[in-house]
A and B are shown apart, each in its own frame.
Chain A
Amino acid sequence: MPERPADRTKELVLLMTQHQRRIFSYIYTLVPDRHSAEDILQETSLVICEKFSDFRTGTDFAAWACQIAWWQVRAARTKFARSKVIFDEKVLEAVAATAAELAPEQSARHEALSRCLQKLNPRDRELLMTRYESGVEEAARRTNRSLVAAYKALTRLRKLLHDCVTNALTSEAAA
């Protein structure tokens, strides 16, 4: 019996709920500017809606959605051609290929990041959370740092978290 449209809509929303971060992350990796990446995510989502009848239930939704996102990023290249937030075509393709390879580990890294964030001291955590919520200036203001000091601290904290997440996954794999 064919599925009812209401079931398909429910399925679409469910799949988007599960995979939206991964799709955004993929786009953000290719277009490293949050607002531009969000714009492309919106356009991608609309295309996903339009083409959802082509999606076969049971196959990899995130991979299918990232394919759509890829073409949206390509289409946006014209707009970003003179901007610094887009890569050279060859680099873009190489990054996209590597991103596809790393896709399976993303959820685990996201979960590990939550745990690593808890290990930061409160002032560093506030700096980081405010940075991602309200921008660097506000983060510097709230934590009584100069802008330059905030940039330096953020660079340090990102490396710290990156290593923490990698170590956590390595330990889990070894266990």
Chain B
Amino acid sequence: MNAMTDSERVELNELISALVDGRGTAAEHTRLEKMLAASDEARRFYIRSMAMSASLFEHAGEMQGELPEPSNVVPFSDWSRWAAPLAAAAAVLLGFFLARGFLAPVQPANAEEQPESVAHLSGSKDCKWIGAAPGSGDELTRGRRLELESGFAEVTFDSGAQLTLTGPATLDLRSAWEAELQRGTLKANVPPEAIGFRVTNAAVEVVDLGTEFSMTAEEGGAAEVFVLKGAVEVQPHGNGVEQPRSVLREKQARRFAKAGASDVHDGDKKFQRYAAKIAVERMAHPLNYVRWSFDEGVGDIAGAVSNSANSSELRLGKSGEHWTQGRWGGALQLNGQPAVQVKLSGALGRGTRSLACWVRLPVEASISGAEAFLTLPLNHPPQSWVEFSWNSLPGDGVLGALRMQTRQGAAVGTTPLRDGKWHHIAAIFGQPAKKANKALTKLYVDGRLESFLLKQSAHRGSGEMPAGLDGALWLGGLPGGSTGATMAVDELLLVDRQLSPPEIRHLMQTNQLISAEILAAN
């Protein structure tokens, strides 16, 4: 081809623009290839255009808004968890990518769109409230003040920490990881997954190190801390000046006041009182579920157990070996083959849902092979869906961590999954019916809450909902894709409501849904 004509230049610009925007057809791609093969001028125009788009990605990134809230920034201790296994230079580079801004951490799409629920009222006994009374199971939002006049109220935070308030008491909910006791008494039960949970007040900050402790806060600002099991770290705030941190261990107690820290008066009696079990009433909330155990070991059908769906078996296709050793019995081995689907019925196909399973990824799985392994439709906004994969974009969070992508953004966990080991994952997603603009997002990995924010990030490809996704769960990849994920999946469970942290923990530890009896006894 000689020098391009004006109309060819216009055509080439349109072809490139369509390609950049992900809307080019196969015919247009072929035409573009033909032009690039034939003309040096076309290739130069193409390369300069693509380089310009690469520059524009960077310019747009530089113009992003303010930094994420501190609570959204993964703390150093968590970074070290994933960075440590990497070669030093690779870790430096990955850190570089995050710091550089070229692949900058994406920002929350909109503060108003962020989930505000940080806890729920999980149990109560003889409660009299001052102000609006929360009902059993009600979600409690960030910043909510609970004023209990009398009785007992158990609050379960999304991190898994449980606080039982004894009235009269006033508690402010700061986040899934923090509460402030204004007055009264609380007893904290913090499972290992919620280590780091903190309770503050004017006199002291108590950081849990995996424990059970009680704390009382007096109207005058003093507080007493009693460690019933394990240990806590305390930081006194006496005289408005930060004091050195110290650790209180089992059976130890301290009083913190403006004048400083001191021994607790009548400590033994108080220990006895606080160690007594508080029997709150917990309501078991019904759920519909469907579950694939993948214990077949032979054949190409994975059967399901459900209390609501009629037929939910997965037909895995004739090719390849489908089975492997699982975390509990057998498991499904995905070998990169196209995805398979099962129709979802009733509440399992819409609204707020939870999904849990065990996954095992190959050690250092190829980054370009980070396919979605589970895809489900969402009922809001229209034509939207959720994909689960592992994160291959360090700019969005930890490389190799669990990633949940919706039209509204992506949530990324903090535990790298590419280690050849089984990890339990649980995700809560979907749109509560009454809050059409509040997408629920919670990711738990190995029982620990790792993400509760959707940060701005788009689906790959054109952004169109893949055909065939409506009303179906796709396992192993995206509908219509020619390839799929490479990993093992075990004990896949889908339920039609939010699972609570204790339910997720129980499921992880026993492979069973928590029963009403166990819930009441715990």
Enumerate chain A interface residues (CB-CB to B < 8 A): 9, 12-13, 16-17, 20-21, 24-25, 28-29, 32-36, 38-40, 42-43, 45-46, 48-50, 52, 76, 79, 82-84, 87-88, 90-91, 94-95, 98-99, 102, 106, 109-110, 113-114, 117, 128-137, 151, 154-155, 158-159, 161-162, 165-166
Q: Which residues of A are found within 8 Å of B40, using beta-carbon distances?
A: 98
Contact at B55–A87, with CB atoms within 8 Å?
Answer: no
Find chain A residues with CB under 8 A from B80 CB. Answer: none
With A32-B19, A132-B59: A45-B97 Cβ-Cβ less than 8 Å: yes
Closest residue on chain A to residue B459 by CB atoms:
A135
Mark B residues whose CB is within 8 Å of A.
13-14, 16-24, 26, 29, 33, 36-37, 40, 43-61, 63-64, 87-90, 92-93, 96-97, 100, 102-103, 366-370, 392-395, 399, 456, 458, 460, 463, 482-483
Determine if A43 and B55 form an interchain contact, defined as CB atoms under 8 angstroms apart.
no
- B53: chain A residues within 8 A (beta carbon): 28, 132, 158
Q: What's the dominant secondary structure at chain B's contact region?
A: helix
* A99-B63 Cα distance, complex, nearest whole Å: 28
Given contacts A42-B394, A109-B55, A162-B45, 7 further A-B contacts (CB under 8 A): A21-B102, A25-B51, A50-B87, A95-B47, A131-B21, A133-B456, A158-B52
Residues of B within 8 A of A13 (CB): 92-93, 96
Tell me whether A102 and B48 are in contact (CB under 8 A): yes
- What chain A residues lie within 8 Å of B29 (beta carbons)? 84
Check if A133 sits within 8 Å of B60, measured CB to CB: yes
Docked pose: A29 CA to B43 CA in angstroms? 10
Q: Provide 11 A-B residue pairs closer than 8 Å at the C-beta atoms, listed in order of the A residue.
A: A20-B100, A21-B58, A28-B50, A33-B22, A48-B93, A87-B33, A94-B37, A102-B44, A110-B51, A132-B61, A158-B16
A91 to B47, CA, bound (A): 12
Q: How far is the CA of A113 from the CA of B59 in the complex (A)?
A: 9
Minimal Cβ-Cβ distance residue in A for B22: A33
Whether A49 and B46, one on each chain, are in contact in the complex, defined by CB atoms closer than 8 angstroms, is no
Chain A residues lying within 8 Å of B16, measured Cβ to Cβ, are 158
**Interface residue from B13, B44, B93 paired with A159 (Cβ < 8 Å):** B13
Inter-subunit contact A20/B102 (CB<8 Å): yes
B91 to chain A, nearest CB (A): 9
**Residues of chain B within 8 A of A110, CB atoms compared:** 51, 55
The CA of A101 and the CA of B321, in the complex, are separated in Å by 48
Pair B399/A42 contact, Cβ less than 8 Å:
yes
C-alpha gap A106/B33 in the complex (Å):
23
Of B21, B33, B97, B458, the residue contacting A154 (CB under 8 A) is B21
Among A29, A33, A128: residue with most chain B CB under 10 A: A29
Q: Which B residue sits closest to A32, measured CB to CB?
A: B19
Contact call B368/A40, Cβ cutoff below 8 A: yes
A155 and B13 contact, Cβ closer than 8 Å, known pairs A9-B88, A36-B368, A94-B36: yes
* Shortest Cβ gap from B483 to chain A (Å): 7
A21 touches B13 (CB 8 A): no
With a cutoff of 8 Å between Cβ atoms, the chain B residues found around residue A94 in the complex are: 36-37, 43
Which chain A residue lies CB-closest to B89? A49
* Top 10 closest pairs, chain A to chain B, by CB: A132-B60, A25-B54, A155-B17, A133-B60, A49-B89, A29-B50, A98-B43, A135-B458, A132-B56, A25-B51
Known: A12-B89, A135-B458, A155-B17. A24 touches B60 (CB 8 A): no
Chain A residues with CB under 8 Å of B13's CB are 155, 158-159, 162
Chain A CB count within 10 A is highest, among B13, B21, B29, B58, for B21
Q: What's the minimum C-beta distance from B458 to chain A, rounded to whole angstroms?
A: 4
Question: Are A38 and B103 in contact, with the CB atoms below 8 A?
Answer: yes
- Contact status A135-B463, CB under 8 Å: yes
Bound-state CA distance A82–B405 (Å) is: 24
Chain A contacts of B92 at CB under 8 A?
A: 9, 12-13
Q: Is the CB–CB distance between B483 and A114 below 8 Å?
A: no
If A16-B93, A84-B29 touch, does A29 touch B47 (CB 8 Å cutoff)?
A: yes
Of all chain A residues, which has the CB nearest B35? Answer: A91
Chain A residues positioned under 8 Å from B369 (CB to CB): 79
- If A21-B54, A25-B51 touch, does A76 touch B368 (CB 8 Å cutoff)? yes
